[in-house]
């Protein structure tokens, strides 16, 4: 049984993580407009959250964005690593998520066959 009381324990446990998280700029951004959601963005995001939890990746920020006008390529998922260009992946399926996280988010290797865009500057 889970209860709100569990959160007190988590609060203590997580104090040590707080500083670690503030020092990184790794982000995963998922398109969550109507088009994205209809194409399966919620399932892709769930897969991302599950994978981050399993791998205990604490420094990755997960964000959402609205429709950016490439509805036919949804689900769109962007990866930003500190100091590197922002990479946009298109037609992302939940089954692609493990690969994106292992190869790109962790190891920095862009998955060329899924890429549909690259934006320099990284900062959003």
Show the CA angle centred on residue 62, arms to residues 59 and 22, nearest 5°: 35
Q: Per rule CB under 8 A, is residue 61 in the interface with another protein? A: yes
Distance between CA atoms of 101 and 7, rounded to whole angstroms? Answer: 28
Which residues touch 45 (CB under 8 Å, ≥6 apart)? 30, 32, 62, 64
Interaction pattern, residues 15-54, with another protein; x per rule: CB under 8 A: --xx-------------xxxx-xx---xx-xx--x--xx-
Shortest reach from residue 95's CB to another protein, in Å: 17
Distance between CA atoms of 80 and 96, rounded to whole angstroms? Answer: 17
Distance between CA atoms of 50 and 98, rounded to whole angstroms? Answer: 10
Q: Per rule CB under 8 A, is residue 67 in the interface with another protein? A: yes
Q: How many residues bind another protein (CB under 8 A)?
A: 36
Shortest reach from residue 58's CB to another protein, in Å: 7
Query: Where do contacts with another protein occur on this chain (CB under 8 A)?
Result: 1-8, 10-11, 13-14, 17-18, 32-35, 37-38, 42-43, 45-46, 49, 52-53, 56-58, 61-64, 66-67
């Amino acid at each position: 049984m889970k209860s709100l009381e569990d959160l007190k324990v988590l609060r203590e446990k997580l104090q040590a993580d707080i500083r670690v998280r503030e020092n990184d700029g790794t982000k995963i951004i998922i398109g969550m407009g109507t088009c994205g959601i209809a194409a399966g963005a919620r399932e892709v995001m769930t897969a991302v959250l599950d994978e981050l939890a399993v791998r205990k990746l604490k420094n990755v920020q997960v964000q959402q964005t609205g429709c950016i006008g490439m509805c036919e390529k949804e689900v769109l998922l962007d990866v930003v690593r500190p100091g590197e260009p922002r990479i946009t992946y298109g037609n992302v399926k939940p089954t692609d998520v493990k690969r994106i996280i292992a190869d790109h988010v962790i190891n920095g290797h862009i998955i060329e066959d899924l890429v549909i865009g690259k934006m320099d500057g990284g900062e959003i």
